[in-house]
Chains A and B, each alone.
Chain A
Amino acid sequence: MIEIKNIFKKFGKLEVLNDVNLTFSKGECIALIGPNGCGKTTLIKSILGMVIPTKGDILFDKKSILNKYKYRDQIGYMPQIGRYPDYMTVGQIIEMIKKIRNSDEVLDEDLIKAFELEKIFDKQMRTLSGGTTQKVSAILAFLFNPQVLILDEPTAGLDPLASEILKEKIIKEREKGKLILITSHLLSELDDMISQIIFMQDGKVHFHKSISDLLESTNEQKISKAIAKILKSESHEQNH
């Protein structure tokens, strides 16, 4: 569904993405992991057209997305740090996005109910805590029933109850055959959600494996342990 072909991105002299090639297909739930500053968010923003790659192409449903916008109809995006106009209320933001999208699709308001957000519809965005802002971001990402969900650190800042609600929602959407892209540092949280894993380092894709492959090749039960094992063995090799 999404193909990333030889993407390069430079911010000034800093190379953030260096020849990234990836293919994401429908029905997968893919985790994008890697150390801070390895280019995860830049990669996600390139898919969204918020960052324009220096070189390379991104295909969405086999069509290039460069200089296009219509394909974003199909994408729900939850940013790492949601930034919203300070003086708008929660209700106004949701209303505004509904108006802008103007979509005929049935709206998915499950999360509004699950997070009990109706109670704070008349609160201004600047008065909200980080976690509540994340809830608003999550609601907006899921609201229009998009075919692709891109979630940048979705559970960071959410309380355990809310992050559990969000995880259940993600699993439910995955079962509907949607493509879900998640970046996260909390490997333990990903265990029961994801089907593939991508490890990035220094702007390059280190490996792209399915979970079963990963667990099999390392003889581990947990993703976090498997990743740790791979990284350890590599640093071991480098030292010798």
Chain B
Amino acid sequence: MNRIIKIIFLDILKNKIVLGYTLILALLSWSSFGLEDNSAKGLLTILNVILFTVPLVSILFATIYLYNSSEFIELLLSQPIKRKKIWLSLFLGLSLSMVAAFFIGAGIPLLINAPDSVGLMMVIVGCLISLVFVALAFLSSILTRDKAKGIGISIMSWLFFALLFDGLVLFLLFQFSDYPIEKAMVAVTALSPIDLARIQILLQLDVSAMMGYTGAIFKDFFGTAIGLSVSFLLLCLWVIIPFWVSLEKFKNKDL
């Protein structure tokens, strides 16, 4: 397995896109800390990067990479290698490079400029979000053979989680504002990895009112240690379930 991961990892490193992504993340992070002497404002800028840019780049890059390596997958399949191993190596290679890009680009400035629980939380959540969207990319690329369709599904799922979902939650809150739906709303956030990430960071930042409406509402619910570990667990499930579904599909795919 290591041999294949190494081949994939080196292949991605050769790709200039990941390098550019790292540089842009680094530029954004360093400048947002450099412009303000208040590190909290810098953190908020980076929070937006984590919630929008990181998912978009992770899911798009991973989807396109998977479609472009269809030849490579075909070549490997005629060799004595387990299907599971091929798919897992691709996943590990891609997530390793996306997490590395995030860590080098945004993680290091975060840990240097905000060396407290907030900074650490952001690094962890950012890495997890990268993994979630790489896993979603695997799912969308296995759903269809058509490259354009697959990339379309990826963009739509990013759009849904990054923008539409918050709008839907807001809509529900206004429509049902006469009813006691706060507890139900907590369960609803579990349906979006980006919202889970946002809540975790906002709870640390104490500026919940500035961000999306979902963030403001749930401070009371996720404030506890149990709430925090549950939301971490949910994020991990967001990595495992999409990838597992794609793996099961890949095992039975005809090439």
Contact = CB atoms under 8 A, between A and B. Distances in A.
A32 to B, nearest CB: 17
Contacts of A75: 78
A122 interface: no
Contacts of A48: 77-78
Interface string A74-107: 0101010001111100000000110111100000
B225 interface: no
B78 A50 contact: yes
B80 interface: yes
Nearest to A51: B254
B255 interface: yes
B209 interface: no
Contact of A71 (B70, B71, B80, B253): B80
A69 B81 contact: yes
A84 B71 contact: yes
Nearest to B11: A85
Residue among B11, B75, B253 with the highest chain A CB neighbour number at 10 A: B75
Contact of B79 (A51, A52, A72, A79): A72
Given A52-B252, A85-B71, A85-B72, A100 B3 contact: yes
A93 B93 CA distance: 18
Nearest to A74: B80
A70 interface: yes
A100 B79 contact: yes
Interface of B is mostly: helix
B116 interface: no
Contact of A83 (B11, B71, B253): B71
Given A69-B81, A97-B79, A50 B74 contact: yes
Contacts of B254: 11, 45, 50-52
A71 B78 CA distance: 11
Given A85-B69, A99-B3, A79 B252 contact: no
B78 A69 contact: no
Contacts of B75: 83-85, 97
B73 to A, nearest CB: 10
Contacts of B252: 52
Contact of A77 (B7, B78, B253): B78
Which 4 residue pairs across A and B have the least CB separation, nearest first? A83-B71, A72-B80, A73-B80, A77-B78
Interface of B: 3-4, 7, 11, 14, 69-72, 74-83, 251-255
Interface of A: 11, 45, 48-52, 67, 69-73, 75, 77, 79, 83-87, 96-97, 99-102
29 contacts: A11-B254, A45-B254, A48-B77, A48-B78, A50-B254, A50-B255, A51-B255, A52-B254, A67-B251, A69-B83, A70-B80, A72-B79, A72-B80, A72-B81, A73-B80, A77-B78, A79-B74, A83-B75, A84-B71, A84-B72, A85-B11, A85-B75, A86-B71, A87-B14, A97-B79, A99-B3, A100-B4, A100-B76, A102-B3
